[in-house]
């Protein structure tokens, strides 16, 4: 398969800015970054709005913030890190999945340990009796 055929096959599944190879116009790549920047700014502003408005039901604010944070991560992955589902990005996606798994294990493991910490501690009275 020639280089041109590989590029033609990959072109349909390229991230924003990745389609620029060789002597193509830099304005396309810059436009991709500016779109990503605009979307990131809009999502950041929406996060501040969600916190400071009374339009969202109180307990729903945290859910709105988590949703906006996940959307912000998606924008960064696609527009700035150029992580796509293309065949040439398999290692990037696997590394991202492994990173997400590690973060999940650390966060939820820490929450589980903190939730059970008081249950497994020696009561204060028994601790004071041991010191005598």
Backbone angles phi, psi at 122, to 5 degrees: -75, 135
- Measured CA to CA in angstroms, residue 50 lies from 12, 61, 75, 107 at distances of 36, 6, 19, 24
Averaged in consecutive runs of 10 residues, what is the pLDDT profile of the chain (132 residues)?
Answer: 58 54 69 92 95 87 92 90 78 85 94 82 80 74
Instruction: Identify the pLDDT of residue 87.
Output: 78
This prediction's pTM? 0.59
- Measure the CA–CA gap between 27 and 9, rounded to whole angstroms: 23
Collapse the DSSP code of 85 into the 3-class scheme (helix H, G, I; strand E, B; otherwise coil) and give the result.
coil
Those residues with Cβ within 8 angstroms of residue 19's Cβ, 6 or more apart along the chain or in another chain: 11, 28
For the purposes of burial, counting CB atoms within 10 Å of the CB of 67, is it exposed (0-12), middle (13-18) or buried (19 or more)? middle
Nearest of 80, 73, 82 to residue 19 by alpha carbon: 82
* 71 in Cβ contact with 50 (< 8 Å): no
């Amino acid at each position: 398969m020639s280089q041109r055929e590989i590029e033609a096959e990959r072109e349909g599944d390229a991230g924003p800015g990745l389609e620029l190879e060789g002597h193509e116009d830099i304005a396309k790549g810059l436009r991709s970054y500016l779109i990503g920047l605009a979307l990131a700014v809009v999502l950041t502003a929406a996060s501040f709005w969600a916190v400071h408005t009374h339009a969202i039901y109180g307990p729903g604010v945290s859910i709105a913030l988590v949703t906006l944070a996940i959307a912000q991560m998606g924008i960064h992955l696609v527009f700035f890190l150029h992580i796509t589902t293309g065949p040439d990005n398999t290692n990037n996606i696997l590394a991202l999945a492994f990173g997400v798994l590690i973060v999940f294990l650390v966060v939820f493991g820490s929450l589980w340990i903190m939730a059970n910490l008081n249950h497994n501690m020696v009561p204060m009275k028994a601790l004071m009796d041991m010191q005598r």
